[in-house]
Structure 1
């Protein structure tokens, strides 16, 4: 009887001890509701968001650069405009300076060894009409000579003198005529060819519109 009572008292304690020493069972999971942590669609969506953000940043930066460039160009244009015309006198109001008229140049050709000036009537009339109001008429006697000599010098001088006499006879004051001569050189064409030699035997007549600056203090005299 005593053994039965002891067994009855110990049995519940043994059962409790065995239940405490057994490990708990793992929780059960519903496999039908499981989803992958990173699906392909989620990754692609994240990439699209990143690209969109980068595009917005680049667009904003490009806009700022464009605004800066436009402002710089406008400043440069304003500076160039200010430098082109003084502020006190607009370019549209500045009077244009009148350029002096160019001198007229006539040429009289001579035969070989000749000092006789023969001008066509029309050329003579135009020359005299222009020389009548000119402050200075400059004559340059030239030859086709290839070597300096007394004969070439005489021919060049007499050719200039012949044209001077023609102008004086037409009423041009001698004080306004100046003659020069050069026996060789100053050729206008190939002096080794007959055509070039004919062109080089000449007197150049330059009709001045105004006195040269160096000659303004003293009137030109005939030589």
Structure 2
């Protein structure tokens, strides 16, 4: 019973000490080193970073646009050069001379053009700078009769063209009484082909060239 009485004051003392003691304080923080994310400096720094990034993007885009513009200019220049080398749409390429043949009956100088070529012939002759007529026969010798028939045939074709509206000053006539055959003159079929007037319609006037002098 006495031991119990002695321990009781000691326990009370411990309990008082325990109730009076406080827990350890947490470590202190240096407020000078704290940089909150929402401070004015941090916000300004972030704005600067964003503007720098936007500037880089704009510079890259501007470079791409410049490359595209350069390529477009090069392609356009190439197309313009190619178009410049092309002939105008309304410029027609020169064609070769057109040659028509008019056939005649034996001993005749009566002109009889086929209907399917008469209009084309006269239209071309009206637009031509020169028309040449060559009267021919199926004669075998240069007789007066053959010469007359060849001349009359060329004259008849000339009169036909003039009546159709061709300028007579642009027509040249020649004739040949024999030779210059286009077919075998020994048979009737060949002789029928040889009795003719050749009409050569020029697309351009002949250009005289100086002959070379041999030394």
Q: Once the 2 structures are TM-superposed, how far is the Cα of residue 96 of structure 1 from its aligned partner?
A: 8.8
Q: Please name the residue that 1:206 is paired with.
A: 200
Report what 2:133 is aligned to.
139
Q: Give the 5 Å matches for 1:118-157.
A: 118-157=112-151
Distance in 1 between residues matched to 2:141 and 2:86, nearest whole Å:
49
* Partner Cα separation in structure 2 for residue 146 and residue 214 of structure 1: 34
Q: Secondary structure at the match of 1:154?
A: helix
Q: Separation in 2 of the partners of 1:142 and 1:183?
A: 6
Is 1:188 equivalent to 2:182 in the alignment?
Answer: yes
Give the CA deviation at 1:99: 6.4
- 3-state SS, counterpart of residue 213 of structure 1: coil
- Provide the residue aligned with 2:102 in structure 1: 108
Residue 100 of structure 1: how far off its partner (Å): 3.3
In structure 2, the residue matched to 1:85 is none
Confirm or deny that 1:163 pairs with 2:157. Answer: yes
Provide the C-alpha distance between the structure 2 equivalents of 1:140 and 1:123, rounded to a whole number of angstroms: 18
Check 1:212–1:111 CA distance in 2 against 1; reply closer, same or farther (3 A cut).
same
Point out 4+ residue stretches in structure 1 off by more than 3 angstroms: 95-100
Measure the CA separation in 2 of the matches of 1:214 and 1:152. 32
Does the residue aligned with 2:135 lie in a helix, a strand or coil? strand
Provide Cα deviations, 1:124-151, integer angstroms capped at 9, x if missing partner: 1111111111000100000000011000
TM-score normalised according to structure 1 size: 0.52
Unaligned regions of 5+ residues in structure 1, if any?
A: 1-92, 216-223
Deviations 1:143-172 (A, max 9, x none): 000011000000000000000000000010
How many residues get paired?
A: 124
Aligned partner of residue 193 in structure 2, secondary structure: helix
Q: TM-score, normalised by structure 2?
A: 0.54
Cα 1:187–1:96 shift into 2, 3 Å? farther
Deviation at 1:198, TM superposition (A): 0.2
Q: Using the alignment, how far apart are the partners of 2:191 and 2:116 within structure 1? A: 25
Cα distance, 1:195 vs structure 2 = 0.4
